[in-house]
């Protein structure tokens, strides 16, 4: 572990609203750290669908090189529905980053904020705080570049589940559950699978049972993915740490974002042993580009996740403190109930949300 107080961050604004929410996020980071012994060297890099349309590649080698050398990667959003590869797939360099940097743990926190109109009325649904961990290098996504369409009559994609990939994401989820238990949460990890139908998921569950034997201080259980979807609507407070395959995690994490009120509230991280990417769960939102309606909250919260990860990895408490400053500012901004982004039916856009949070960080 290397002690340090200055970090190099590779920054990808990407496409669409990315150029609107990225600069203010860097300002939020700097403001949160202004009175602390931690600073940043931001390397802003081009990549994404618009870059592909101009240059014929979506993630240039130079940008990847900078990302590999950086202490962390902050990414806004990439991809545009009308710009695609010749085979029809959307441009998604974020997947290339996951694969190249071996970012196997997709971390999707689900935490509701007071003061917002949320879809579930139960008081417990107004105080959700759980985490979905998605295995991000294998599963059904592993075949995305080798899909087969046979004689225009049949299409095939192959799911890949390995012991190595499963063990490391289960260990990650169990250690997260341990840390959460120390903070007063349940200390439970739930494996989400389809072991009653597919042999690959039966294997996935077997590995889960083996790994969790080493974690006697937390609880471990299973749930089929269809039942998990039902319970995420019916009683989501039953979960603490959920861990699942790539495709299932992609789908369920959007359901989790819905519980928070929308994608504009949902941060995420893709974490490996050496590298990590932090980005909001939402896309490039081309329908609202340039209108000032983009909600930067998820980007701010993703930046807080980045600061916390850097602080923990490099033993820099000031970075963890800065993360908590951002989290508290976001929570306080919404708690009063008079800040409502457009996706909640309100009239508060990018600038209003940014100004409210930066003022709280300035206080």
pLDDT tens digit string along 145-192? Answer: 666 677 778 887 888 999 999 999 999 999 999 999 999 999 999 999
Percentage of the chain surpassing pLDDT 90? 85
pLDDT at 156: 79
pTM: 0.93
Q: The tokens 């870059």 sit on which residue?
A: 51
Q: What CATH code is carried by the domain that includes residue 189?
A: 3.40.718.10
Residue 233, pLDDT > 70, answer yes
Q: Are residues 331 and 213 in the same domain?
A: no
- Is 83's pLDDT higher than 90? no
Q: What is the mean pLDDT of the chain?
A: 94
Within this chain, do residues 5 and 56 fall inside the same structural domain, yes or no? yes
Residues 89 and 133 in one domain: no
Domain match, 255 and 125 both: yes
Residues 79, 168 within the same domain? no
pLDDT classification of 45: cutoffs 50, 70, 90: very high
Mean pLDDT within 5-24: 96
Residue 172 and residue 45 in one domain: no
Q: Is residue 341 part of a domain?
A: yes
What local confidence, expressed as pLDDT, does residue 289 receive? 95
Domain shared by 137 and 181, yes or no:
yes
Residues 99 and 114 sit within 8 Å (Cβ to Cβ): no
**132 and 220: one domain?**
yes
Residue 267 CB partners (closer than 8 Å, separation 6+): 109, 278, 280, 281, 298, 299, 301, 302, 304, 305
- pLDDT for residue 152: 78
Q: Do 46 and 87 lie in a common domain? A: yes
- What is the model's pLDDT at position 201? 95
pLDDT band at 1 (very low <50, low <70, confident <90, very high): very low
Total domains in the fold of the chain: 2
| Domain assignment present for 266 | no
Sign of the Cα pseudo-torsion (295, 299, 305, 308, in order): negative
Parallel/antiparallel/unpaired status of strands 72-77 and 6-14: parallel
pLDDT on residue 3: 56
Say how far apart CA 249 and CA 271 lie, in whole Å.
Answer: 15
Give percent of the chain with pLDDT exceeding 70: 98
d(CA 213, CA 189): 12
Domain with 320, as residue range(s), is: 1-102+286-363
Number of residues that this document lists for the chain? 363
**Which one is predicted more confidently, 3 or 50?**
50
CB under 8 Å, gap of 24 or more: what pairs does 172-175 form? Answer: 172/104, 172/105, 172/133, 172/271, 173/105, 173/133, 173/241, 173/243, 174/211, 174/212, 174/214, 174/215, 174/218, 174/220
HEC profile for 183-207? CCCCCEEEEEECCCCCHHHHHHHHH
- 285 has pLDDT over 50: yes
What is the C-alpha to C-alpha distance for residues 20 and 99, in angstroms, rounded to an integer? 27
Nearest to 282 by CA among 128, 78, 127, 3: 78
* Spatial separation of the C-alpha atoms in residues 57 and 277, rounded to whole Å: 20
């Amino acid at each position: 572990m290397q002690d340090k107080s200055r970090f190099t961050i590779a920054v990808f604004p990407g496409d669409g609203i990315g150029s609107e929410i990225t600069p203010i996020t860097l300002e939020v980071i700097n403001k949160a750290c202004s009175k602390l012994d931690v600073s940043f060297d931001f390397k802003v890099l081009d990549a994404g669908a618009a870059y592909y349309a101009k240059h014929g590649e979506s993630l240039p080698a130079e940008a990847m090189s900078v990302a590999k050398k950086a202490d962390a990667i902050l990414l806004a959003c990439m991809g545009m529905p009308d710009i695609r590869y010749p085979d029809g797939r959307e441009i998604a360099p974020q997947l290339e980053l996951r694969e190249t940097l071996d970012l196997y743990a997709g971390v999707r926190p689900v935490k509701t904020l007071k003061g917002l109109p949320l879809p579930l009325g139960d008081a417990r649904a107004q105080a959700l705080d759980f985490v979905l961990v998605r295995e991000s290098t294998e599963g059904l996504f592993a075949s995305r570049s080798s899909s087969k369409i046979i004689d225009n009559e049949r299409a095939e994609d192959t799911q890949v589940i390995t012991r190595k990939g499963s063990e490391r994401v289960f260990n990650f989820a169990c250690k997260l559950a341990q840390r959460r238990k120390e903070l007063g949460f349940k200390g439970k990890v739930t494996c989400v699978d389809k072991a009653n139908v597919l042999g690959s998921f039966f294997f996935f569950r077997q590995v889960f049972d083996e790994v969790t034997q080493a974690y006697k201080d937390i609880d471990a259980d299973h749930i089929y993915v269809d039942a998990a979807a039902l319970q995420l609507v019916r009683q989501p407070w039953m979960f603490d740490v959920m861990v699942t395959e790539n495709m299932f995690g992609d789908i369920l994490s959007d359901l989790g974002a819905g519980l928070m009120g929308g994608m504009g509230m949902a941060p995420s991280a893709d974490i490996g042993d050496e590298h990590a990417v932090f980005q909001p769960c939402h896309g490039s939102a081309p329908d609202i580009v340039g209108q000032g309606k983009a909600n930067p909250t998820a980007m701010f919260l993703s930046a807080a996740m980045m600061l916390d990860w850097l602080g923990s990895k490099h033993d820099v408490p000031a970075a963890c403190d800065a993360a908590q400053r951002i989290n508290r500012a976001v929570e306080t901004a919404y708690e009063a109930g008079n800040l409502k982004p457009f996706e909640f039916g309100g009239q508060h856009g990018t600038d209003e949300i940014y100004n409210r949070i930066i003022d709280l960080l300035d206080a």
